[in-house]
Amino acid sequence: MNGMNAMKPALPSRISYAECSARERLARLLDADTFHEWLPPAQRLTSPHLAQLGVPGAFDDGVAIGCARLAGHEVFVAAQEGAFMGGGVGEVHGAKLVGLFRRALRDRPRAVLLLAESGGVRLHEANAGLIAVSEVMRALLDARAAGIAVIVLIGGANGCFGGMGIVARCADHIVMSDAGRLAMSGPEVIEASHGVEEFDARDRALVWRVTGGRHRYLVGDCDQLVEDDVAAFRDAAIVALDSHRPLTLPALQDEHALLQRRLHDAGDAIDAPVMWQRLGIAQDERAPDLAVHELRALERIGEPAR
């Protein structure tokens, strides 16, 4: 089924997910003309904290939320706009996400899709942003506990970092592109803290080896790896509609065992190919250079806990 579609080489007409804005992604990923936005820019809901700093705001505070259809199923969606403050979560931005998950709890859509692109907490409203991200986390887990699948898509140029990197891993299912990045601290922050020898933030190949979709897929931190193509993200999101996995004690015990084994096996690895080798992922020496569809044919080690 989808696996076969995914094996096809990308069509020349593909549209880069990374290069789309948040609203372009929504328009192309969801069923045509089905996205209905809540608190749209016309309502001019901006961050009061940015205004106080003299920093320009955005009428949606950097995130579009609403309901839509995906392959005919009702879904709730949120798309973070990386071009506005790197997708950083401020008070309003975070509250929109919280409201979306709470509404999902009430209205029971088939799934909530989070098109994540964020550096995490928006430092301009640091304290409010930090609390907001934790509120998003709790609201997301409430929706999951109620049986609503939460699906995260990561393929924007700004990646998914900080608190949002944690939020993403609280979801049922993660789809990434090779261009997507998922991690906690940005390489710049690590370099600033421990020096360029620790993490050279300008070495793009290294940055992607450590945080990119390829690595996350091979070790099982994301569930599907797709080309940088909006249509591929759409196909993957449709597949993910059935991905709900309840968080139970046995499920978390399995996750714990997997993460412990990884810690043990990886040893002191600081680069991905070494870690893949130690984790016993097949054909490690070729993995950095394989095309996405070839990579998907590799056997993965840490299959995500199901």
Looking only at residues 125 through 154 of this chain, which bind another protein when binding is defined by CB under 8 A?
Answer: 125-135, 137-139, 141, 145
Q: How far is the CB of 13 from another protein (least distance, A)?
A: 34
| Stated length of the chain | 306
Question: What 3-state DSSP class applies to 282?
Answer: coil
Beta bridge partners of 212: 181
Question: With binding defined as CB under 8 A, does residue 179 bind another protein?
Answer: no
**Span 61-90, contacts to another protein by CB under 8 A:** 65
Question: With binding defined as CB under 8 A, does residue 303 bind another protein?
Answer: no
Q: List CB contacts of 155: < 8 A, sequence separation 6 or more.
A: 17, 18, 175, 176, 177, 179, 180, 213, 226, 228, 233
Helix, strand, coil percentages in the chain from 3-state DSSP, rounded to 5:
45, 15, 40
Residue of 290, 289, 291, 269 lying closest to 280 (CA atoms): 269
For 205-230, letters b (16+ CB in 10 Å) and e give: ebbbbbbbbbbbbbbbbbbbbbbbbb
**Span 4-33, contacts to another protein by CB under 8 A:** none
Residue 44 identity (one-letter amino acid)? R
Question: With binding defined as CB under 8 A, does residue 98 bind another protein?
Answer: yes
Of 182 and 287, nearer to another protein (C-beta) is 182
Contact between 178 and 212 (Cβ < 8 Å): yes
Q: How far is the CB of 83 from another protein (least distance, A)?
A: 17
For another protein, the binding residue among 123, 157, 241, 290 (CB under 8 A) is: 123
Of 128 and 175, nearer to another protein (C-beta) is 128
- CA angle (295 as vertex; 289, 296 as ends), nearest 5: 165
**Span 191-220, contacts to another protein by CB under 8 A:** 193-194, 198-199, 210-211, 215-216, 219
Question: With binding defined as CB under 8 A, does residue 183 bind another protein?
Answer: yes
Residue 100 identity (one-letter amino acid)? L
Question: With binding defined as CB under 8 A, does residue 271 bind another protein?
Answer: yes
Question: With binding defined as CB under 8 A, does residue 157 bind another protein?
Answer: no
- Number of C-beta neighbours around residue 260 at 10 A: 10
Question: What 3-state DSSP class applies to 68?
Answer: strand
Q: How far is the CB of 45 from another protein (least distance, A)?
A: 7
Question: With binding defined as CB under 8 A, does residue 221 bind another protein?
Answer: yes
Q: How far is the CB of 235 from another protein (least distance, A)?
A: 25
d(CA 247, CA 273): 31
Segment interacting with another protein, rule: CB under 8 A, options 4-12, 26-34, 116-124, 230-238: 116-124
Q: How far is the CB of 105 from another protein (least distance, A)?
A: 10
Of 20 and 137, nearer to another protein (C-beta) is 137
For another protein, the binding residue among 48, 59, 204, 280 (CB under 8 A) is: 48
Question: With binding defined as CB under 8 A, does residue 243 bind another protein?
Answer: no
Question: With binding defined as CB under 8 A, does residue 252 bind another protein?
Answer: yes
Of 126 and 297, nearer to another protein (C-beta) is 126
